[in-house]
Amino acid sequence: MEKILKAGIVGCGGIANGKHLPAISKLKEVEITACCDLIEERAVKAAKEYGAAGARVYTDYKEMIDKEELDIVYVLTPNKSHSPISVYALEHDCHVMCEKPMAKTYEDAKKMLDAAKRTGKKLTIGYQNRFRQDSLYLKKVCEAGELGDIYYAKAHAVRRRAVPTWGVFLNEEEQGGGPLIDIGTHALDLTLWTMDNYKPKSVKGAVFKKLGDQKETGNAWGDWDPEEYTVEDSAFGFITMENGAVIVLESSWALNTLDVKEAKCTLCGTKAGADMEDSLRINTAHLGKLTTIKPELAAGGVDFFEGSSGKPEDIEARQWIDAVLNDTEPTVKPEQAIVVTRILEAIYESAKTGKEIVFED
């Protein structure tokens, strides 16, 4: 008989309903037996719409984990609580899928990684942009060595005016920052993953809050409240890796530019380069002529796994459950995600102190 994994959801807000719950519902090997949220109505709604028959509702994650015999816990809460919830779940014999970023701070991320190693349970982080068709193809290109030695890269996460005005996105205490830790984290993860380079040497950063006090904003989700805007609106980093490669990271929710890109990267190697403009482009020289290649990627993706669509979030959900069932490594490893958190924290620290942050280990 095929094993059915019992899952508990902690955090039943936007990211749960917009991404994880619909994706989990497509997996026949998983049943949601418990939902938890500080706002009970959210947990009730999630249990009703996505839970198994008799799914129970909680407002305390510890109570849920203590009472339920769960195989997996999904941590879909504000950044500040990622670490304590994940550690508690891991230490109570649960595998954990935690939303990005791994944690608010590098110290908190280390606690998560240490708990996973100590308990032998699996831990992954929700970087679904790795599962886009252009990302998967670019990863294969890099693995095949077609770009050569990648020594310069850009991580793009720039919006013209798209500041999230709901939830705790504008709350520095709950989130740890603004666009850098929210969307910059996706761009940096994608860049490090395609390069397969996780050894940063130093970081120099600059952080700006230049537009947060404006009232008539033209924002995609309506004007924000300047009184609640406690995070940056733009942040930039210059990252030097141990092998000499450099990465420029740009992130903004609100920047006066028409050059907008989100969750994309540009790679420059000794043999060729690649970028993710309107589509993936590989640039090289062939027979003495400069050449640009645009791979034909299936619109909307293809079904890589039985029962899943080509949507990144569905592929992400499928591979995670396969990793749990087959005792294999998930695509997003915590050892990789913790490097992203460390670099983001260093950008904030560099901007605060005006100094370059040099990693000693």
Total domains in the fold of the chain? 2
Same domain, 279 and 326: no
The upper half-sphere exposure of residue 296, i.e. CA atoms within 13 Å in the direction of its Cβ, equals 0
Domain holding 114: CATH number?
3.40.50.720
Q: 265: which strand partners?
A: 155
Strand-pair category, 30-36 with 5-10: parallel
Query: What is residue 215's predicted lDDT score, i.e. its pLDDT?
Result: 86
Same domain, 174 and 123: no
What's the angle, vertex CA 245, arms to CA 312 and CA 240, rounded to 5?
Answer: 95
Residue 101: which of 350, 294, 348 has the closest Cα? Answer: 348
Query: What is residue 304's predicted lDDT score, i.e. its pLDDT?
Result: 42
Same domain, 67 and 174: no
Same domain, 34 and 86: yes
Same domain, 292 and 323: no
Domain holding 278: CATH number?
3.30.360.10
Owning domain of residue 197: 132-302+340-358
For residues 221 and 199, the answer to whether their CB atoms sit within 8 Å is no
Q: What are phi and psi of 268, to 5 degrees?
A: -125, 120
Same domain, 61 and 183: no
Task: Record the pTM.
Answer: 0.95
Tokens representing 23?
């994706």
Same domain, 37 and 182: no
Query: What is residue 298's predicted lDDT score, i.e. its pLDDT?
Result: 67
**What whole-number distance in Å separates Cα of residue 218 and Cα of residue 355?**
35
Cα dihedral 255, 261, 264, 267 sign: negative
Same domain, 194 and 280: yes
Same domain, 205 and 238: yes
Residue 112: which of 361, 332, 352, 326 has the closest Cα? Answer: 332
Same domain, 123 and 144: no
Same domain, 71 and 161: no
Same domain, 161 and 294: yes
pLDDT tens string, the chain, 361 residues long: the values are 478 999 999 999 999 999 999 999 999 999 999 999 999 999 999 999 999 999 999 999 999 999 999 999 999 999 999 999 999 999 999 999 999 999 999 999 999 999 999 999 999 999 999 999 999 999 999 999 999 999 999 999 999 999 999 999 999 999 999 999 999 999 999 999 999 999 999 999 999 999 999 988 999 999 999 999 999 999 999 999 999 999 999 999 999 999 999 999 999 999 999 999 889 999 999 999 999 999 988 654 444 444 445 899 999 999 999 999 999 999 999 999 999 999 999 999 999 999 999 998 8
DSSP E strands in the chain: the ranges are 5-10, 30-36, 56-58, 72-75, 95-99, 123-126, 150-158, 200-208, 234-241, 246-252, 261-269, 273-276, 280-286, 289-293, 357-358
**What whole-number distance in Å separates Cα of residue 345 and Cα of residue 76?**
21
For 140, residues 6+ apart whose C-beta sits below 8 A from its C-beta are none
For residues 170 and 224, the answer to whether their CB atoms sit within 8 Å is yes
